[in-house]
Amino acid sequence: MKILKLVSKKADSLIELIGKVSSILIFFLILIITLSVILRYFFSIGYVWLQDLYIWMHASIILLGVSFTLKHNGHVRIDLFYRNASDRYKNIVNIFGHIFLTLPFCALLINYSYDYFYRSYLLSESSKETGGLPAIYILKFLIFFMGVTLIIQVLNNIYMGINVRLNRLLNQESPENFSNLYIPGYYKVLEGNNFGVGISYSIFYLIPIFNKNNKQNLHISEYYEYCSSRYYKQY
């Protein structure tokens, strides 16, 4: 459990750091756009590389901020039914969205964006505009990086467990005039072999717990320490 708590806290720290970097980039983006406007309209001076810089920086802020925004539940959603729904309903929707939408999207994004970045890196690709910025593959790498950080944030709330077991049949009774179709746990009728192998999996979605006594929100990794408390919900 200590390892799980450590990994969860490290993941939270990484996402928070990425969010802070995005915030700093917003400040510099405003300065660069302001400088570009002043040079263009007051001094009739324009630099292609400066235009590329604020466009790339804007894209970087979005790509870096996706996982941070997800962590703080800040993404725009159509919440006509979600907004006034119960916490249980919201958590079910979140679980479904993360498992069946976000994770497959991230898998596809990582798979295709890596080749997209690597080809650009091998070609030393730069801006298509004359006088533009070099090394556009850095921006393309952030697409791949976004997929990785998004998966880290999603898996910080979702855990999967796999159980493999070896079974041995101790007793088998068949009803009169009716033979067993299968034996529970084996999914077949055993004839001359009392051993079998089984496998199962489980999916857990851990949510923050609210302590009514102290009025404090507990860290998600502290779920295991409070699982015996009466102030928790498991979905």
* Annotated domain spans of the chain: 2-156, 159-226
What tokens were used for 65?
A: 């901020």
- CA distances for 199 relative to 164, 186, 193, 205, angstroms: 4, 10, 18, 21
In one-letter notation, the amino acid at residue 122 is L
Q: Which residues contact 164 (CB under 8 A, 6 or more apart)?
A: 197, 198, 199
- CA distances for 162 relative to 16, 59, 64, 202, angstroms: 30, 39, 32, 7
Residue stretches of the chain with pLDDT short of 50: 208-212, 214-235
pLDDT at position 97: 83
Asked if 48 contacts 195 with a C-beta cutoff of 8 angstroms, the reply is no
pLDDT at position 161: 64
pLDDT at position 186: 56
pLDDT at position 154: 83
pLDDT at position 156: 76
User: Which residue reads 């725009």 in tokens?
Assistant: 76
Dihedral over alpha carbons 35, 38, 40, 44 (to 10 degrees)? -130
pLDDT at position 233: 38
- Long-range Cβ contacts of 132-137 (<8 Å, 24+ apart): 132/48, 132/49, 132/52, 133/49, 133/52, 133/53, 133/56, 136/56
Q: Do you know the residue count of the chain?
A: 235
What tokens were used for 145?
A: 């990086």
Residue 221, number of CB atoms within 10 A of its CB: 20
